[in-house]
Amino acid sequence: MLKKTLLVNNYLRNSTRINRLNQEITRITGREPQVVRITEAPQVNSDEFDAVILSGGDAPLNQPEVVADYKKATDWLSRIQRPILGICLGHQLLGLAYEGRIARLGERFEGFYDVEVVEQDELFTGLPKRIRVYKSNVRVVARLMSGFKLLARSSEYEVESFRHLEKSVFGVQFHPENYTDTDRDGLKILENFFHTLN
């Protein structure tokens, strides 16, 4: 496949958490991604890449002062014309980039959970209506943004996955890079994203 991928690292503290996602992208595309911190990403020319992946992270994007700190990054994201996949905090950053709002949940979700695919889309090709994916979050996109369609939801919260109506911009609140031999739906989602680039 040999796709050139920009991997945006959103982890503020434990940056080794990016390694699993980096390994999966390399395995699927046959090429190691270029990794850049979210603070440096707006200086990168995204047109030089086939795709942009936004990792998970730990910033509290429901706090106005933190949202202000990410303004350059969210402005940059809204202008990108390349396919984007936002994962967990990356999904939330896409929400902010397109005028959404982030809410803090009453509890943290950690582990494998069932998610319902409500709109059959190329991101979920070959998967059943009910998938099992890994979650690690306490914040979510509060409601679907204008110009997007809902792809998946769960009993825990409504916006598990979305897609822009006109651009190849996808978000998933869960971590598709974290899968096991028995729960492999996340891997299929990552593979499907890269197949949309062909």
Torsion from C-alpha of 27, 166, 154, 118, nearest 10 degrees: -100
The one catalytic residue in 91, 99, 177, 191 is: 177
User: What's the farthest any 2 CA atoms get from each other in the chain?
Assistant: 42
State the angle between helix axes of 89-97 and 71-79 in degrees (0 to 180), rounded to the nearest 10.
Answer: 80
Burial class (CB in 10 A: 0-12, 13-18, 19+), 6: buried
How do strand 130-141 and strand 84-87 relate by DSSP bridges? unpaired
The one catalytic residue in 24, 88, 91, 160 is: 88
Give kind and range of the element (H or E) at residue 80. none
State the angle between helix axes of 19-29 and 185-195 in degrees (0 to 180), rounded to the nearest 10.
Answer: 50
The one catalytic residue in 24, 91, 160, 175 is: 175
Does the annotation count 160 as an active-site position?
Answer: no
Does the annotation count 164 as an active-site position?
Answer: no
Does the annotation count 91 as an active-site position?
Answer: no
Q: Which residues are catalytic?
A: 88, 175, 177
